[in-house]
Chain A
């Protein structure tokens, strides 16, 4: 079980968190302007890298805030956490 440093509450057990997949995937400004292919990319397609991955977590059994993290999917080590709206730290090489 990982120890996840919530940027609001500090380190807490993984069981308190909810996973939200890839971060920084914005809802399209005008979905009606997208082709079916482009829309499908938004709805279903996410990055799935082996290595550092910017992803979303919610401290669902704590402060209930969503935040972002960069985590290495090979080791599961959290490299950085940052609040929603903050830019991704320069950790992905």
Chain B
């Protein structure tokens, strides 16, 4: 037996961030202190030298989807537009620990996306080929190859929906979500960004078609620019300036088991049977469930979704039979009609939008933080987020990633 589980995990630094009172005015106010908001503030300060920045969080930092996701990181999306921003993100992930000077447990253990029907196979091969031409590591593996990469997957052809193969992205993996958030928060704070918790935005003030301030539960804060990074609550915030968004906020549940000896060396996702699972660093199985169908801001889903999830998981992983569910929870994912994000300018001057990430938000954290900061600093989208405009729903230039998103929306 090697060292006990958890013994190898890094120690946290002794200082993370201060808890200042909000100032009367900032150059940029970032609304939402989750992963995207913190990363945006970090890159604003680091890349663009904009440090008179506040990140406003209505609860505790990174307590929303950042604290609730299953931490899968990959860039093997189908369309050029998506692979552009997700691969940009993955490259940043690869240097992030060093960049932030903080252990984030980024572990490139690979991701398998299983195929269960002949059409799944065609779609998967199509995506692999597109990925490779876009410079993304991707391969198609047959069932025996799946077994080699992840020996606990049931590849028997004698089951209801046999595994017919999988796409494999070796550079994909997982990271520790809290540490990522804290790393960004700590680094942003060190460069002068104010992180303000328990500060709920209750209004957006405009004048002459430009944003001027935010109203908050802790008073009015003047702002040169305002950047929305509020995930599930984006529609509510945008509505404060009369902006409608093509989003629906849904509960998305996830769950975790107790600590178990290592059995699962990679990440396995299956669209067809709605399973995505990895084994985290201390040994717990982390699993995502299907999305609840109805709109909901309650951070809770319905239990039959979890039961279906378990049934699907055991079809693929019979060894999980007597693992135990320890904890379930839900986040609020903002889902767009084409399962792709909306990142860019808005009709209101100085107001920037970053939302619609659905289930893809965590893996995009560094990439979108970097591009969104660029968009805010230059009042112009970065090439990687340029396709993800709000206008695409009018022109029809959608980026339909339903096939690549982890969960069928």
Q: Which of B244, B302, B394 has the most CB of A within 10 A?
A: B394
Q: Bin chain B's interface residue count.
A: 20 to 34
Given A37-B394, A41-B244, A73-B297, answer yes or no on A48-B302 (Cβ-Cβ < 8 Å): no
Chain A interface, >50% SS class: mixed
Q: Are A15 and B297 in contact (CB under 8 A)?
A: no
Residues of chain B within 8 A (CB-CB) of A43 are 337, 393
Please tell me which one of the listed residues B246, B295, B393 contacts residue A73 in the complex, with CB atoms under 8 A apart: B295
Given A36-B394, A50-B236, answer yes or no on A45-B244 (Cβ-Cβ < 8 Å): yes
Q: Are A14 and B236 in contact (CB under 8 A)?
A: no
Q: Are A18 and B293 in contact (CB under 8 A)?
A: yes
Q: Which of A46, A50, A55 has the most CB of B within 10 A?
A: A50
Residues of chain B within 8 A (CB-CB) of A50 are 233, 236, 249, 297
Given A45-B244, A48-B248, answer yes or no on A76-B233 (Cβ-Cβ < 8 Å): no
A33 at the interface (CB under 8 A from B): no
Q: Are B236 and A74 in contact (CB under 8 A)?
A: no
Residues of chain A within 8 A (CB-CB) of B294 are 19, 55, 71, 73, 76
Contact with A along B287-310 (1 / 0, CB 8 A): 000000111111010111000000
With both beta carbons as reference points, the residue of chain A lying nearest to B294 in the complex is identified as A19
B245 at the interface (CB under 8 A from A): yes
A36 to B397, CA, bound (A): 12
Q: Are A73 and B302 in contact (CB under 8 A)?
A: no
Residues of chain A within 8 A (CB-CB) of B293 are 18-19
Q: Are B303 and A1 in contact (CB under 8 A)?
A: yes
Contact with A along B231-265 (1 / 0, CB 8 A): 00101100100001111110000000000000000
Tell me how far the C-beta of A65 lies from the nearest C-beta in chain B, rounded to whole angstroms: 17
A1 to B293, CA, bound (A): 12
Q: Are B303 and A53 in contact (CB under 8 A)?
A: no
Residues of chain B within 8 A (CB-CB) of A15 are 304
Given A19-B293, A48-B235, A49-B235, answer yes or no on A76-B303 (Cβ-Cβ < 8 Å): no
Binding site for B on A (CB under 8 A): 1-2, 14-15, 18-19, 21, 36-37, 39-41, 43-50, 53, 55, 71, 73-76
Q: A43-B393, A44-B393, A48-B248 are in contact. List 11 more A-B contacts (CB 8 A).
A: A1-B303, A43-B337, A44-B337, A45-B244, A45-B393, A49-B236, A50-B249, A55-B295, A73-B296, A73-B297, A75-B298
Cross-chain pairs A/B with CB under 8 angstroms, 15 sampled:
A21-B248, A39-B394, A43-B337, A44-B393, A46-B248, A48-B245, A48-B295, A50-B233, A50-B236, A50-B297, A55-B294, A74-B297, A75-B298, A76-B296, A76-B298
6 closest A-B pairs by beta carbon, nearest first, are A48-B235, A19-B293, A44-B246, A40-B394, A50-B297, A44-B393
